[in-house]
Structure formats: C-alpha cells, structure tokens
A and B are shown apart, each in its own frame.
Chain A
Amino acid sequence: MFNTYVVTFIFMRTGVPLWMAILGGVLSAIGFGLLIDLLVIRHTKKVSPVAKQIITLGLIMVVLGVTPLFFGVDPLNLPRLIQSGNMTIFGANISYNGLFNIIFGLVVMLILFFVLQKTKVGLAVRTTASNEYTARLMGVPTKTVTMGAWAVAGVLGVLAGVMIAPTTTVTLNLMDVVQINALIACVLGGFQTFYGPVLGAYIIGVSRNLLLVYYSSEWGGQVLYILILLLLVVRPYGLIGKKVVKKV
C-alpha cells in the first residue's frame, strides 16, 4: 500500500510514463522490505509464530500511521496501464487492461514457481523455510535469503497494489480486501503446495463475483465464507493440502 502511494506520487509529480513510476515503486518496495527485515525481523527469532503475527500487525499499524504524513489523507488516482479498449472473449466483455492483469499475474506466478522449484536460489529458499538452523549448517546464507524474501514480498505487494489501484482509488484501505482474500486463498488452496493458493485465489475471485451478481449483492461475500467453511470441514487441509502426520 505504501509503495503504491510511492508509484502514484512519482507518476503525478514527475510526469514520467507510468511504467517508469512503477519501476520506481518496485525499487522503493525492495528498500522497504529490506528495511523491515533489518530493523524488525532480525531481532525476533525467539518469538512464537502467533507473536510473529502480532508483530506484523504492529508493522501494519506503523505503516498505516506514517503513510498520511508522507502522502496526505486524500484519495489519489492511479490510471490503468493500458488505458482503454475492450475485447470480447466467449461473449463476455473484458478490457485490455484486465486481460493484461490476468496474464501478468500468471506470468509472475510461473516465474516464481520456476525459480523456487528449479533453481539453486529456490532451493535455498525452501531449505531455509523448512529448517533455518540446519540450512545454515549446510552453508545456506539464511540471512540473505530472508532479506531477499522480504524484498520480493514487497515487490509482489506493490505490483498487486498497482493492479488494484485503478479499480478504486489509492487510499489507506487499498489492500485490506486483498489481504483477507489472500489469506483465505491460502487456506482454500492449502499451504502445502505453491499452486494451491493461486488456485484458491482464482476460485475466490471468480466465485465472489458470481455470487454477488447472481445470488445476492449483500450476502454474496458471506455465502462464500460459509461455503469455504463447509469445504474446510470436508477437506481440513484445503483443496490440495495434505495432512502431515506426526510420528508418535
């Protein structure tokens, strides 16, 4: 959210083309992620997972409070990357921009999958995630991996923000809906695989709109929640998740 503001700021104040402003935002996001890792995450090795969640909550509060100091409280507007033009697929209207978003999203996913699964860097990330101590013993530079992970997270965040922003305005609450739905997508798709949450995200996005339009514009969102709840009862580890059995 913060970095989406950065992008908008750069775009509006300096008049450079949008893609360059986005690049600026990406750089800022990298710096931001690194900063968070260095200042906060490094010092929180000993805390429980729940406590870590609370720390991220605290971070959100800090950023939420600080952003208006930099960018003011009025909502800003960020235009789409592809300004106008629609096309028709299977009888449905879709803007070029929307199409671009979908394709771009898929491309980013594929790149991530490839890096994580097929490259040495990806292996380093996965080992660190699995067991940091052992990874370090095996010579994996875990500190760098963690820094890199936060930087990448920041970049993905700003990209998501830039894609969402044109549909509403750039405000403090820009990413609220995205965050919750992202979490739910992970739960839906299961944490065990990489493609699970992606699948979950697409399912949620599509179902939500379908329900809102065809079923009820008020209850659509909650019906989705209920459906997910029922799904969890049937498949407690998400659509694709697998249970990790503890050896007794």
Chain B
Amino acid sequence: MLSENEVLRIENLSIQFGGLKAVDNLNFEIKQNEIFGLIGPNGAGKTTVFNCITQFYKPNQGSIYFRTKDGQVENLVKHKVHEIIRLGLVRTFQNVELVRELSILDNVLIGAHIDFKSTIVEQALRLPRARNEEKALREEAEMILRKLGIWERKDMIAFGQPYGILKKVEFARTLMCRPSLIILDEPAAGLNDVETAQLSEMIRTIRDEFNCSVLLVEHDMRLVMDVCDRICAISFGKFLAKGTPKEIQTNPVVQQAYLGTTEEDEHE
C-alpha cells in the first residue's frame, strides 16, 4: 500500500482508448512534502496519467493509493471525480479554467466549495451560520491572495486579466481547501523566463508554507530541473526512468526518447 513517508503511489496504472494503450503499466510514488515532476515528450501520456489520478478518466487497470488529509489511505479509483478534492487532492488546468464573469475573489472562493456546510435554506434566508461561513472563508481567501501578491485585484472581474495573474488565481483556488497534494498541469505554459523563475519560487513557497506535496506535469525542462526533488520520465505511456534531476538528465534512455540519440551516438 503506502509507506509512512509516501503521499501517493501509482501501481500498474493502465488505460487504453480503443486500440491505443495510452498509459501502460506505470508505477511511481511521491513522498511527503516532495516536489515531483512528470515529464515526457509530446504525446507521452502525461496528461492522461494525471487525468487518471484525478478520476477524470477511469483507468482500466491499476491502483492509485493516496494518503488523505485525515491520514487514511484511499484507492482513488474507487471515487468519483468530484469527491477527489475532499480527500485532499487538487489540480490546476492547462487552459486556465476560471469563471470569466466572476470576480477574482469569487473564483478563489469556488475552491472552498466543500468547506461550506450550510444548507440551501440557510443560504436562501441568509441565516447566521451561512453568513459567518461566508465571512470566514472570504477572509481566508483574501489571505491567500495576499500571499500570492494579487490581493489588490480581488474585486476585479476575471475576464481580461493578464494570463500570469489568472494562473495565480488558479493557484489560490487550489490552496483554499488546504490540500495534501497539488497537481500542476503545465503551469509554465505561456510564461516567459522571468515569470517562470517566479513560478519556481511560488511552487517552493507553497510547498513550504502550506505543507503539501506537489506533482508537476511539465514540458519546460528548466523549471522541472530547477524545482523538482525527483522526476519520473515516461514515453508512449510507458515508464522510462525515475530519479533526481541530475540522474534523469544523464540517463541515456531518457535522452533517446527526447532527442532520438544518446551521447555515445553523438561521439561517433
């Protein structure tokens, strides 16, 4: 199952679409407070892997063991997609999926959806419990926005905000539920060098301050090598290698998959 210091373990994960095996017998584990990277060339199946983890797809085979916020171990495959966040696992989206017509603060509050306990009637009549909940969670959302440096924009409509800001809002949203594992879906997509460096900082800060683990699915090699503690590389849905950034960089199998050559080939 899961050892003491692990927060997520994937065992024999497989999924196929029609005749195509998109993920083939994948195994890896993520330790507590670790920043873990999942890399692979285009079409390797990274997004499919993490759609399987978050139950947007149901894998055909395999188990996904996760240590929940309460310390229990759950097999995620047994849960529905909207239950995952309750266990303490959240994700971001590559195409930032915010509600354009709502303010930034409201968008962040969507992340607190599961924390609201008041019933429909209580909300309809704005009874004390609903009012207090709203107030408390609003304050927490504002605190997170302050931490990420975008508090000034809290009442602005999400539509039309710069891309970098929207990504921060998505981050803020994932932090609202105090997750134990955050999955970032290509967070560096569309960012320039400066912004990517800031992103590195932010990921580290989040890990430290919010005491969670991070699974980073990414293309941008600099970011991955810079910020990850360990990395798993896949290609065509199959496992390639696992290790520290240095180990992955020098791994011939990985180089072969990315570049089609190895160092030895080049010397000849």
* A248: chain B residues within 8 A (beta carbon): 47, 51, 56, 93
How big is chain A's contact interface, by range? under 10
Interface of A is mostly: loop
| A248 CA / B51 CA spacing, docked (Å) | 8
| A27 CA / B232 CA spacing, docked (Å) | 68
Contact with B along A36-80 (1 / 0, CB 8 A): 000000000000000000000000000000000000000000000
Across the two chains, which residue of chain B brings its CB closest to A248?
Answer: B56
How far in angstroms is the closest Cβ of chain A from B27? 24
How far in angstroms is the closest Cβ of chain A from B187? 16
State which residues 234-248 of A face B: CB under 8 Å.
248
| A248 CA / B55 CA spacing, docked (Å) | 12
| A45 CA / B47 CA spacing, docked (Å) | 35
* B93: chain A residues within 8 A (beta carbon): 248
State which residues 83-109 of B face A: CB under 8 Å.
93
Contact with A along B37-79 (1 / 0, CB 8 A): 0000000000100010000100000000000000000000000
| A128 CA / B93 CA spacing, docked (Å) | 29
| A248 CA / B81 CA spacing, docked (Å) | 13
How far in angstroms is the closest Cβ of chain B from A62? 31
* B56: chain A residues within 8 A (beta carbon): 248
Contact with A along B5-48 (1 / 0, CB 8 A): 00000000000000000000000000000000000000000010
| A248 CA / B95 CA spacing, docked (Å) | 8
* B51: chain A residues within 8 A (beta carbon): 248
State which residues 81-119 of A face B: CB under 8 Å.
none
Q: Mind listing 4 A-B residue pairs with CB under 8 Å?
A: A248-B47, A248-B51, A248-B56, A248-B93
Q: 4 closest Cβ contacts across the A-B interface?
A: A248-B56, A248-B51, A248-B93, A248-B47
Chain B residues near A (Cβ < 8 Å): 47, 51, 56, 93
